[in-house]
Every structure is written in C-alpha cells, then in structure tokens.
Chain A
Amino acid sequence: MGEFIIKMPDVGEGVAEAELVEWHCKVGDPVREDMVLAAVMTDKATVEIPSPVTGTVLWLGAEIGDTVAVKAPLVRIQVAGEGGEAAAVPMAETVTIETIEQPVEKVASPPPVEIKKSVQVAPVARAATQTPAERPLASPAVRLRAQEGGIDLRQVTGTGPAGRITHDDLDQFLARGAQPSILPVGLARKTTVEEIKVTGLRRRISEKMVLATSRIPHITYVEEIDVTDLEDLRATMNASRKPDQAKLTILPFLMRALVKTVGEQPGVNATFDDDAGIISRHGAVHIGIATQTPAGLTVPVVRHAEARGIWDCATEVVRLAEAARTGTALREELSGSTITITSLGAMGGIATTPIINHPEVAIVGVNKIMTRPVWDGSQFIPRKMMNLSSSFDHRVVDGWDAATFVQRIKALLETPALIFIES
C-alpha cells in the first residue's frame, strides 16, 4: 500500500492560488482514476480536479471556502502499490460533463517518490461514518420535521436531556426570538440573523468591487438618447431576420456604436495598470457583457467585436449569456475584456452609476426605454427615450473626453444609419 498526494494544479497563467468550492469526495471514499474529486475556482473560472489514480481518500487538505496555493497538497489517496505525488491535471475549465473529454494530458505513471505508510485508514473511515456522537440527538419525528424543513440539526441547540433536540427547540430555531405573545396576532418581532459565508463567485465579486471602487475615481455621466429611429430599424431588421439569426436587442447596436466610437477615441478602449503606471490602448474591442447568473454577476466577453457584424454580435451575446448562466462558459470567455456594457434596462430605473470592470477605464450602462413627451419646437410629440449611464476612470479619462465619447455614441444611436456607414 502506498500513498499518493494530489497537489493543487496550475489552473491558469498567472494564477497562484484558487478557492476550493466543492468536494466530490470525503475521507474514506473509494475513488477511481479520472473521477472528479473537487472543484476549485479562480477569479476566471471553475476548474474540476480529477483523480489520476484509483484508491481510497485518506485526507482532504482544505475546507470549502479555503484558498489553496498552487502546488499545495490537496488530497491524499491510499493506492495499491507504490505511492507518489502529482499536481492534478485540471479538467476543462467548465462545470459540465460534456467537456471532460477535452484533450488533457494524463499524468503518466506517477514518480515513485515519497512512499509513506498509511497509518490511520481504518479509524478515519470508521469515525467518518460510525460515531453517533457527531450526530445530533433527536427523536425520529423531530428528525423528519428537520429534513422536510431543510434544517441542519447540527445547528440546532438541544435543550432536552443529554442535549436532545426537542420539537420546541426546532420551533425556537425556526422563529428564533419571536415573541408573538406580546405583539398583535400576525405581527412578530424577528431577531434572527442568518450568517452566510461569502465564498466562491460571491467572494470574487466582492473583491473585484472593492478593488474597482477603492482604486478608481469614477466619473459618471448620464445622457438621454432618442432611440425612436433605432427601435424602428431594429423592428424592421428583426421582422426580416433569417431563422438562424438571433433576435436583435439594443445591445448589438450599442456594441457596433462602441466599436465605431473607440476607433476615434482609443483612450476609452484601454486598461490601466496603475501599479506600473501604464495605460494599454487595445486595438481589439473585446466587449464584456455584465450578465446576471444564478450564482451572481459574471462578465462574459464578446471578443473582437470590431470584426463582427451586427448579427454576429447578437448571436454571440445570446450564446455567452446562456453559457454564463449554465456555468459552462470557458475561462477565456470570462476574461480579457477591454470595455464593458451593463444593462439593467428591463428592471426600469432612470439612471445607474456603473462600477468600472477593473482594470478597464470605461463602462457603458443602458437604462429602460420609455416613451416620453418631447418638445420639438412647436409641440410635444411621443418619442422613445433611453438614458445611457457611463462611468470612466477619471485618472486617465478627462470629463471632456468622457462627454465627447458619450455624445458620439448618442449621435450614432439617434441616427442609426451612421452605425452602418463606412467611415
């Protein structure tokens, strides 16, 4: 019997550590070669860690939420024959099964080093499954109620004999602190506090937001845009679209307008490395599209929007949004943007103050289109109006340039033919 150590793999260029977000095995579990043991998350993507060997899990090196350095031991597996160690080979950077078959270099027979005697297999396995002391003490009826209510009884304090959890304890847990007796029926004071550990994507979002707002002095500029003509054009184009073309929303028009505008103002399609003091102006226009997913905000990237037609942009946005929502987006699809579009349009709201996607220098946000009365010089006429909320890194984009940029987009969106005219 030997012991095989799996180390945190190199999960992407420049990534020194990753957060453990999921264990697919526990101590004592038998594992087979290629079985997924864990999932780790970098700020780019979720990566699955497969087992290079067949054996039994002896030890897990981290708890969910822990950040683990690349090359740090992650799992120890008891194997038949000689042990060894290897950095695990991450699976394709997605969470879906379909892509597991990506050409991944297998760890060829592990080098026979670090052979260790496994000393405590049996007690570990036994402790993990057998010790009733770790199980909360409760009657079957209480356990059933807890299961149906989705309550983890380990979190409930038992006040009964020997720490037994009673029905009353469960009631208390469900409405902790409620005092219905002194308050009118139907109204009750609630003093419950639910603590949620910030892990995974939520932690990434949290860190990025802090980085962006603490480092970047934002200037936000809101302008009103008459999109009546744009909406007419959009309706006409959609009415005659081919079956294989995705339905046009306002986004592809805005993307094409951005491409045109940054051609004239390259300082806005840039990233700013403030530590190095270098602004990189990008020839490519990789547009990040802020997308709400069940796990939280992610920003899939439409690469090379400058080389895509409007229909192509539309198709790509739909594809990426779906990939982001289902968690199947690849790592390179979630990074590398040079400018970002955010949209809360569907929710209403007059204006937003978008936060720049660090290290970019500009973000453009669309708001809800509303039909509003507009004075045309002699009368009020109904026009479709939309506010555009844009933020800029004021360290590298002056107010004047920001305004010029937005006014140029306004001109393109109000006379959409301009978007399609060759410069």
Chain B
Amino acid sequence: MPMKEIVCKLLVIGAGPGGYICAIRAGQLGVDTVIVEAVKAGGTCLNIGCIPSKALIHAAEEFEKVSHMAGNGGPLGITVEAPKLDLAKTVAWKDGIVGRLNSGVLGLLRKAKVKIVHGKATFRDGKTVEVETETGTQVIRAETVVIATGSEPVELPFLPFGGPVISSTEALSLKTVPKKLVVVGGGYIGLELGTAFAKMGSEVTVVEAMQQILPQYDAELVRPVAKRLGELGIRVLTGAKAKGLSEEGLALLIETAEGEEQRLPADKILVTVGRKPRTEGWGLDELDLDRSGKFVRIDDRCRTSMRGIHAIGDITGEPMLAHRAMAQGEMVAEIVAGKKRTWDKRCIPAVCFTDPEIVTAGLSPDEARAQGYEIRVGQFPFNANGRAMTMLSEDGFVRIVARADSNLVLGVQAVGAGVSELSSAFALAIEMGARLEDIAATIHAHPTRSEGFQEAALKALGHALHI
C-alpha cells in the first residue's frame, strides 16, 4: 500500500551541518519543515569528518605526550612508564561522542518541530521527492527544496577504495594502529590523520604530487608544520605521484620527483586527494540545474537556476567547510520564512588541525596584493610569547594583513599550538571592519597566545612591544 504523501513548505535533503541548521532555523521560524537523511544525522562532519577526526587527533596527541615523557623524561620533570594504546577502545570512545552528538542533533530537530524522514531521496521533479524508507516509498511535496547532499572523498581510478586502500572514513574506525601507513595526498585531511597515526606509532609516509604539502597555504605558514612532521618521523615525498598497488606484497608504487619508480611498503594506504560534491544518485540530472564546474551553481541567496530550489554546503563549492554550510543553511531558512537576506559574509575562517594548527581568515598577503591592495603586514612569533613558552610549543606566529591607506584588516593567519581557538577573534575583526588600531588598542589577556594577535597589529603599526 503506498504511503500517504507528505506535503510541506520546506524540504531539506541531507541532515549534515548545513541541512540540519537550515531545518532547525526554519522550524524555529514556524516553517513547516521536513528533513531527509539517508545515513545519520550530522552528515560527514559529525559522523566521519570533523568531530571523529578531532577525537582521534586528541587521543594521539595525549599518547604522544606521554610517550615522549616515557622516552627521555622531558624538561617537565615527569617520568612515566611506557604507555600503551588500545585503538579499539579509543575508537569506541570516539563513537560515543559521535553518538551523543547524533542524538543531540535529532533532539534539536524534534524540538524545532521538524519532521525527520530516514531514507534515500530522489527527485521526481522540482517540487517532489521520493524517499526510499525502510517501510516503503514516501513521496514528499514541498514548496521549497534545499539540496544539502554534501560531498564525498575522491577515489583514484588506479587505487580504488577497498581492502588496504582506505578513505578518511575507514581511517577513523581502524581497530589497530597500522605498522606502516602511506598517505596519498598531503592536504589537510591527509596530514591531520597522518600525524595522528604517526603519534600513535605508525610509520607514516606522505606522498604529495605538488611541490609543497598543504598547497593552499603559503610556505611560511606551512614551515612549522613541515618541521614537526620531520620531528615525528613522517616521511614527506613532494612532487611524487602514486602509480598503483604493487603486484607482490602490500606496497604502493610511486614515481618520485626525480622520475624514479619507488615501492613503499604499507599495511594501509590512506587516499586523501580531495572531496567532490555528491551530485549523483539523487536525480540532479533530472532537474538539469546549472553547474559551476562540478558544483551546483548558486547565487547570493543560495538559489539554484530552478525556482524554489536552494542548495547549500559542499555541493555548492569551495570552501567545503561545515561552518560555511551552517551559515548558508541559516540564511536560506530565514529567506524561506520571508526575511530579507543575502550572503554578505566577509570571511570564512578555515582551520587545519595539523601539529601545529593553522588558521586563516580573510586574505593572505599574496591574495591581497593580487587584488590590487597596497598592504602592510605585521607578524609576531610565538617564541616571544610567554604563554607559548610555558606550554613547550613556541613554533609559529600570528600574521596580520591590512590596507596601507586605512589600516583596515584584510586578513589574519596564524600557525601554532592551539591557535584554532583564535579563529573567532580573527573572523570577528574582519566582519566588524576592524582597523589595526582597534586590535592594538584592545586589551588582550596575559598570559595567552592571543597576545600574539595584538602584538602583530602593533608590529604592523610599527611599534610592537615585545620584539
């Protein structure tokens, strides 16, 4: 017997960070909302992305600290016995966090009176979606549809996922630490996970086709990360191309920058060469929405080329970041509720949870110059910061980029332990239209790493106090 059709004002496809925020906000505003999710609430971010990876990175970091102390005692005067790691237990702990957040998201959706439908959605037409649920096909008709289907890891044709070749998803649920791990792709995902496994005891090799790891950042920002990779014994091969699996024994064949064939023995091969928008399998071709490259094309209200259909999140392009999707989702919900909104954000901060962490907000010096700005740049190293010294991690710096004529802050970058938490200050400064003087004249609490932000502004103004 066919199920009764659901008719609603707003249908959100995909309950990742973009989709669930959109549905919650719409629900809060009294919009009759349905959300469809094929896997689990929270999407990539919560289930197989940001959250679980940070859990694993934290556990690895703690383990490495203790291992370090056990090795030579270290300067802190602490001695411990050699620690042991039970990865299965770590993963179970991580799964517990994910589970808590899953039910948290579902609870928030219910509290906002959003109807949740579990199953895979396929477009029948621009207003109608069919969902394959456990109990049969559910047809949903909506005035407005929001596509928030997200993205998935890119697969290399000559290294298909399966067996020893894994994506970030499998890497987050390994039961044992691989003895030898080869990471293909030296972007932020590969380095975050590669570093974590190195800290847990894996022998890690990173293969990157470009001349630099983390190619989206400038060399200065990457340098402390590269240095730390070396300290952790991670082998980095830049300009090297993965070729495929070796015939005998488990190994990855590569061609080095010098053109030599090399064989890298591995227990696991982690492929992290990027993510692609999930545009297949849900009837996008039926809709014939305009594309922008691989992505769905949107305007400044996240509208697609078809009336009544919005798209948010990774499916709409770079940067593929959860917080961008969330802001888009919130905006679209408000538009659907009849409010006037357009995308007018000044910056989308980005954090790379390597060791040390990298934060960027707004324009880098090169980007600012490329856009024709005359700029002044101020940089403050953490080795002149008291708090950094007390935490045994003095690598890195804060860098601020401002217009030379008005001192308007165009961008802020930082690399260093724990700098991810400074991202809010950087983004706030840019959104508020702060000038160097505003930051320089704000009292920053002592002793914290945030003083580096104030000092960088002072440096740009020509009167840094601590260097």
Q: Which chain A residues have a beta carbon within 8 Å of chain B's beta carbons?
A: 30, 126, 130-133, 135, 137-140, 143, 147-148, 150, 160-164
17 A-B residue pairings within 8 Å (CB atoms)? A30-B290, A126-B371, A131-B371, A132-B371, A133-B371, A137-B433, A138-B433, A139-B433, A143-B344, A147-B342, A147-B344, A148-B339, A160-B433, A161-B406, A161-B437, A162-B406, A162-B435
Q: Determine the residue in chain B with the shortest Cβ distance to A143.
A: B344
In whole Å, how far is B324's beta carbon from the nearest beta carbon of chain A?
Answer: 15
Q: Determine the residue in chain B with the shortest Cβ distance to A150.
A: B340
- Give 8 nearest A-B pairs by CB, closest first: A162-B406, A137-B433, A162-B408, A164-B433, A139-B432, A147-B340, A161-B435, A140-B431
Q: A148-B339, A161-B406 are in contact. List 10 more A-B contacts (CB 8 A).
A: A126-B371, A131-B372, A132-B346, A137-B408, A140-B344, A140-B431, A143-B344, A162-B403, A163-B406, A164-B433
**Roughly how many angstroms separate A163 CA and B408 CA in the complex, as a whole number?**
10
> Which applies to chain A's interface (DSSP): helix, strand, loop or mixed?
helix
**Chain A residues whose C-beta falls within 8 Å of the C-beta of B435 in the assembled complex:** 161-162
Contact B406 A148 (CB under 8 A): no
**Chain B residues whose C-beta falls within 8 Å of the C-beta of A137 in the assembled complex:** 408, 433
Contact B340 A148 (CB under 8 A): yes
**Chain B residues whose C-beta falls within 8 Å of the C-beta of A126 in the assembled complex:** 371
**Chain A residues whose C-beta falls within 8 Å of the C-beta of B342 in the assembled complex:** 147
Q: Determine the residue in chain A with the shortest Cβ distance to B402.
A: A162
Q: Determine the residue in chain B with the shortest Cβ distance to A140.
A: B431
Q: A-B contact count, CB below 8 Å?
A: 42
Cβ of B341 within 8 Å of any chain A Cβ, yes or no, is yes
**Roughly how many angstroms separate A160 CA and B433 CA in the complex, as a whole number?**
10
**Chain A residues whose C-beta falls within 8 Å of the C-beta of B408 in the assembled complex:** 137, 162
**Roughly how many angstroms separate A131 CA and B371 CA in the complex, as a whole number?**
7
List residues of B (349-391) whose CB comes within 8 Å of A's CBs: 371-373
Q: Determine the residue in chain A with the shortest Cβ distance to B407.
A: A162
**Chain A residues whose C-beta falls within 8 Å of the C-beta of B407 in the assembled complex:** 162
**Roughly how many angstroms separate A131 CA and B290 CA in the complex, as a whole number?**
25
- Residue from the set A126, A150, A163, A164 with the largest chain B CB neighbour count within 10 Å: A164
Cβ of B410 within 8 Å of any chain A Cβ, yes or no, is yes
**Chain B residues whose C-beta falls within 8 Å of the C-beta of A147 in the assembled complex:** 340-342, 344
**Roughly how many angstroms separate A133 CA and B368 CA in the complex, as a whole number?**
11
**Roughly how many angstroms separate A28 CA and B91 CA in the complex, as a whole number?**
48
Contact B371 A161 (CB under 8 A): no
**Chain A residues whose C-beta falls within 8 Å of the C-beta of B218 in the assembled complex:** none
Cβ of B438 within 8 Å of any chain A Cβ, yes or no, is yes
**Roughly how many angstroms separate A131 CA and B363 CA in the complex, as a whole number?**
11
**Chain A residues whose C-beta falls within 8 Å of the C-beta of B341 in the assembled complex:** 147
Mask of B327-341 contacts with A, CB within 8 angstroms, 1/0:
000000000000111
**Chain A residues whose C-beta falls within 8 Å of the C-beta of B371 in the assembled complex:** 126, 130-133
Q: Determine the residue in chain A with the shortest Cβ distance to B297.
A: A30
**Chain B residues whose C-beta falls within 8 Å of the C-beta of A143 in the assembled complex:** 344
In whole Å, how far is A100's beta carbon from the nearest beta carbon of chain B?
Answer: 16
Contact A161 B438 (CB under 8 A): yes
In whole Å, how far is A128's beta carbon from the nearest beta carbon of chain B?
Answer: 12
**Chain A residues whose C-beta falls within 8 Å of the C-beta of B372 in the assembled complex:** 131
**Chain B residues whose C-beta falls within 8 Å of the C-beta of A135 in the assembled complex:** 344, 346
- Residue from the set B342, B344, B435 with the largest chain A CB neighbour count within 10 Å: B344
**Roughly how many angstroms separate A150 CA and B340 CA in the complex, as a whole number?**
8
In whole Å, how far is A165's beta carbon from the nearest beta carbon of chain B?
Answer: 8
In whole Å, how far is A256's beta carbon from the nearest beta carbon of chain B?
Answer: 44
- Residue from the set B341, B408, B432, B433 with the largest chain A CB neighbour count within 10 Å: B433
Contact A139 B406 (CB under 8 A): no
In whole Å, how far is A29's beta carbon from the nearest beta carbon of chain B?
Answer: 10
Mask of B393-414 contacts with A, CB within 8 angstroms, 1/0:
0000000000100111010000
**Chain A residues whose C-beta falls within 8 Å of the C-beta of B433 in the assembled complex:** 137-139, 160, 162, 164
**Chain B residues whose C-beta falls within 8 Å of the C-beta of A133 in the assembled complex:** 371, 373
**Roughly how many angstroms separate A161 CA and B410 CA in the complex, as a whole number?**
14
**Roughly how many angstroms separate A135 CA and B433 CA in the complex, as a whole number?**
11
**Chain B residues whose C-beta falls within 8 Å of the C-beta of A30 in the assembled complex:** 290
**Roughly how many angstroms separate A216 CA and B371 CA in the complex, as a whole number?**
58
List residues of B (415-467) whose CB comes within 8 Å of A's CBs: 431-433, 435, 437-438
Q: Determine the residue in chain B with the shortest Cβ distance to A158.
A: B433
**Chain A residues whose C-beta falls within 8 Å of the C-beta of B290 in the assembled complex:** 30
**Roughly how many angstroms separate A164 CA and B408 CA in the complex, as a whole number?**
10
In whole Å, how far is B284's beta carbon from the nearest beta carbon of chain A?
Answer: 17
Contact B410 A132 (CB under 8 A): yes
**Roughly how many angstroms separate A162 CA and B435 CA in the complex, as a whole number?**
7
**Roughly how many angstroms separate A133 CA and B290 CA in the complex, as a whole number?**
29
Contact A139 B431 (CB under 8 A): yes
Q: Determine the residue in chain A with the shortest Cβ distance to B403.
A: A162
Q: Determine the residue in chain B with the shortest Cβ distance to A141.
A: B432
**Chain A residues whose C-beta falls within 8 Å of the C-beta of B339 in the assembled complex:** 148
**Roughly how many angstroms separate A250 CA and B340 CA in the complex, as a whole number?**
44
**Roughly how many angstroms separate A131 CA and B435 CA in the complex, as a whole number?**
18
**Chain A residues whose C-beta falls within 8 Å of the C-beta of B410 in the assembled complex:** 132
Q: Determine the residue in chain A with the shortest Cβ distance to B341.
A: A147
Q: Determine the residue in chain B with the shortest Cβ distance to A132.
A: B346
- Residue from the set A30, A138, A139, A162 with the largest chain B CB neighbour count within 10 Å: A162
Q: Determine the residue in chain A with the shortest Cβ distance to B410.
A: A132
In whole Å, how far is B266's beta carbon from the nearest beta carbon of chain A?
Answer: 41
In whole Å, how far is B115's beta carbon from the nearest beta carbon of chain A?
Answer: 29
In whole Å, how far is B434's beta carbon from the nearest beta carbon of chain A?
Answer: 8
Q: Determine the residue in chain A with the shortest Cβ distance to B340.
A: A147
**Chain A residues whose C-beta falls within 8 Å of the C-beta of B373 in the assembled complex:** 133
**Roughly how many angstroms separate A140 CA and B331 CA in the complex, as a whole number?**
13
**Roughly how many angstroms separate A228 CA and B290 CA in the complex, as a whole number?**
62
In whole Å, how far is B44's beta carbon from the nearest beta carbon of chain A?
Answer: 27
Q: Determine the residue in chain B with the shortest Cβ distance to A148.
A: B340
**Chain B residues whose C-beta falls within 8 Å of the C-beta of A131 in the assembled complex:** 371-372
**Chain B residues whose C-beta falls within 8 Å of the C-beta of A138 in the assembled complex:** 433
**Chain A residues whose C-beta falls within 8 Å of the C-beta of B406 in the assembled complex:** 161-163
In whole Å, how far is B301's beta carbon from the nearest beta carbon of chain A?
Answer: 11
List residues of B (227-253) whose CB comes within 8 Å of A's CBs: none
In whole Å, how far is B300's beta carbon from the nearest beta carbon of chain A?
Answer: 10
In whole Å, how far is B303's beta carbon from the nearest beta carbon of chain A?
Answer: 14
**Roughly how many angstroms separate A251 CA and B209 CA in the complex, as a whole number?**
80
**Roughly how many angstroms separate A132 CA and B372 CA in the complex, as a whole number?**
11
**Roughly how many angstroms separate A160 CA and B290 CA in the complex, as a whole number?**
41
**Chain A residues whose C-beta falls within 8 Å of the C-beta of B403 in the assembled complex:** 162
In whole Å, how far is A33's beta carbon from the nearest beta carbon of chain B?
Answer: 14
**Roughly how many angstroms separate A164 CA and B432 CA in the complex, as a whole number?**
9
**Roughly how many angstroms separate A131 CA and B370 CA in the complex, as a whole number?**
10
In whole Å, how far is B86's beta carbon from the nearest beta carbon of chain A?
Answer: 46
In whole Å, how far is A149's beta carbon from the nearest beta carbon of chain B?
Answer: 9
